Amino acid sequence: MKKTISLLALFALVLVLSACTKAPANNTVVETSSSVEGYALPDVAKHNSASDCWTIISGQVYDITAYIESGQHPGGNNVADSCGIDSTLLFDKIKKHSSAFTDQVLSEYLVGPERK
């Protein structure tokens, strides 16, 4: 009986610990894919600050540094939370991002493979 309880307790602990490690504490989303449009995620991860900000959205790499500096983002500076990561899930959570206007704005910041 003690062995069964110990095994159940161990199993519960493993479940709790695995749940705690699924997402970073700041709700950022990290893509596990090894490359996006000619870039490896570590290439994008190097650009992880508001003054040098690249992000991945739906498999495309964007340099949104100038957009952050312009102050035009309606949500304020929280767009900087997307720097250096695959922010597809964060981006898709915002209903307003599903628009032709957003697509047009993003197209201005698309990074080509030559910009590594």
Across 2-16, 74-88, 100-114, least confident range: 2-16
Cα separation, 33 vs 40, whole angstroms = 8
Q: Decide: pTM greater than 0.75.
A: no
21 in a structural domain: no
Q: Could you read off the pLDDT of 44-91 as tens digits, one per residue?
A: 999 999 999 999 999 899 999 999 999 988 888 789 999 999 999 999
The domain of 99 spans 27-115
Split at pLDDT 50, 70, 90, the class of 97 is confident
Total number of domains constituting the chain = 1
As given in the structure block, the two tokens for residue 39 are 């870039």
Which CATH number do you get for residue 57? 3.10.120.10
90 in a structural domain: yes
107 in a structural domain: yes
The count of C-alpha atoms lying within 13 angstroms of the C-alpha of 92, restricted to the half-sphere facing its C-beta, is 9
5 in a structural domain: no
3-state secondary structure the chain: CHHHHHHHHHHHHHHHHHHHCCCCCCCCCCCCCCEECCEEHHHHHCCEECCEEEEEECCEEEECHHHHHHCCCCCHHHHHHHCCCECHHHHHHCHHHCCHHHHHHHHCCECCHHHC
Angle at 88 between CA 26 and CA 58, to 5 degrees: 160
104 in a structural domain: yes
22 in a structural domain: no
Segment 3-27 shows an average pLDDT of 43
61 in a structural domain: yes
10 in a structural domain: no
**Neighbouring-strand partners of residue 36:** 39
pLDDT of residue 46: 96
pLDDT of residue 76: 80
pLDDT of residue 36: 57
